[in-house]
Amino acid sequence: MKINDVEIQDTFAEAFPMTATRLIITAEDRFWALRAAESMTGFATSVIACGCEAGIEQEIAAEMTPDGRPGIAVLVFAVSGKELEKQVVRRVGQCVLTCPSTSVFAGMKGEKRISLGSHLRYFGDGFQISKLVGGVRYWRVPVMDGEFVCQEDTARCKAVGGGNFLVLSENLKGALKSCEAAMDAMRQLTDVIMPFPGGVARSGSKVGSKYKSLNASTNDAFCPTLRSVTDTLLPEGVSAALEVVIDGLTEADVARAMRVGILAACEAGRTLGLRAITGGNYGGKLGPYHFHLREILQ
């Protein structure tokens, strides 16, 4: 299969189960809502070392938010409900509670819950108060610009982490421009995030390492400088590989994002040296979700 003369390799991307939540951060204006969201989703590229994977999902118009103010929706993914709760409470407490004018609300419904305001309320030192609105409890915590309003808890749901595709290019410029086009297209979608810087990882990893202290290490098969000393998977003429990583609320969400991103990458990269699109997998040993590239694109 070729799209715009770019080969789509006959392989699959492998992903694994996660759990996720959506939060809606509002503020006096878009500037402050965005600052809080950016801070909260920082250092959240990979569960390998960050504890969670998080990113901005979308902006929300004021008329669509719980308190009628400009909002930003963020998605946070973790390997368990316990870890998700820990990461959410820490990040909201340090990055949203601290940000001028902000409030935070649950962004999804569901039976499985994790704490939010029920933990953060203690910062009020006994001056905090709660109020039930429509059967939902909110906490009002006094802060120096007024009150921090925070919903008591939020829902979590099953999710999919680690969906991906790799762009293989003759040169770095072609790889970068292909990924930038993919990200521009994928950011128009909801229910997914791309947690790495700019949505892209240059340090794709494999499971395991020669060093016992590491559970992941550089994916040497895609490192151009190691072509002569390892079992390379890089086609002849390819000197740069980059990996786009996707987390989604459902398997279908990840597949949709992969399709949109791959098509955009092939369109942008066809004159810049993009040679092939492939998928990152571990022979099916990492996770139960297998996204076969050619099936997604047909």
Strands (E), the chain: 2-3, 6-8, 12-26, 53-60, 71-78, 103-106, 113-115, 129-133, 136-143, 146-151, 153-155, 157-169, 192-193, 200-201, 205-207, 216-218, 240-248, 274-278, 289-292
pLDDT score, position 270: 87
DSSP string, 96-164: TTTSTT-EEEE-S--S-EEESHHHHGGGGTT--EEEEETTEEEEEEEETTEEEEEESEEE-EEEEEEEE
Query: CATH code for 2-15+158-297?
Result: 3.30.70.520
Q: For each successive 10 residues of the chain (298 residues), what is the average pLDDT?
A: 96 98 98 98 96 98 97 98 98 98 97 97 98 96 98 98 98 97 98 98 93 93 96 96 98 98 96 96 91 97
Per-residue pLDDT, 115: 97
**pLDDT, tens digit, for every residue of 146-197?**
999 999 999 999 999 999 999 999 999 999 999 999 999 999 999 999 999 9
CATH of 19-157, one of 3.40.50.300, 3.60.110.10, 3.30.70.520, 3.40.50.720: 3.30.70.520
| pTM of model > 0.75 | yes
Count other C-beta atoms under 10 Å from residue 184's C-beta. Answer: 13
Domain ranges within the chain, ordered by starting residue: 2-15+158-297, 19-157
Q: Note whether 2-15+158-297 and 19-157 share their fold.
A: yes
